[in-house]
Amino acid sequence: MKANRPHSFFTRFAKRIARASGQPLAFGIAVLVLIIWAVSGPLFHFSDTWQLIINTGTTIVTFLMVFLIQNTQNRDSEALHLKIDELIRANSRAHNALLDLEDLEEAELDRIRADYEKLAEAARKTLHTRKTSPRK
């Protein structure tokens, strides 16, 4: 089910850049730029300007990519939370109280985690008991 409303310019831009930057071609272009820069070193006598070009370029690209990738991750994470929430809601045996865990305070998450660790430990003990008991 696709949403009919158009995405914002930034969302479309971030998706395209994130998708493109993860492709082998993007990696190849980055390596090619570094090779060209390194090979040009002797031509420019390894000057401060020569070093500044790569330092400035990589800093700018890294700075901008952090925001684009974070936008994409936030959107993906939100979609994943919604999908998992729907699975919890649809499963009659699941606890609906778990629907909004990402919004809870750390102390409350720790308490819930401890409860589930106890359940897991009890399940492991039961499993271990079944494995070690003699079979008929």
Average pLDDT of the chain to the nearest whole number: 88
Cα separation, 74 vs 76, in Å, equals 6
Q: Which two tokens stand for residue 122?
A: 């009890």
Model confidence, pTM: 0.61
The count of other CB atoms within 10 Å of the CB of residue 94 is: 13
Cα separation, 21 vs 19, in Å, equals 6
pLDDT level of residue 55 (50, 70, 90 thresholds): very high
Per-residue pLDDT at 85 exceeds 60: yes
Is there a contact between 116 and 123 (Cβ–Cβ < 8 Å)?
Answer: no
Question: pLDDT tens across 3-34, in order?
Answer: 556 678 888 888 899 899 989 999 999 999 99
Burial class for 10, CB neighbours closer than 10 Å (0-12, 13-18, 19+)? exposed
Contacts of 20 (CB under 8 A, 6+ apart): 26
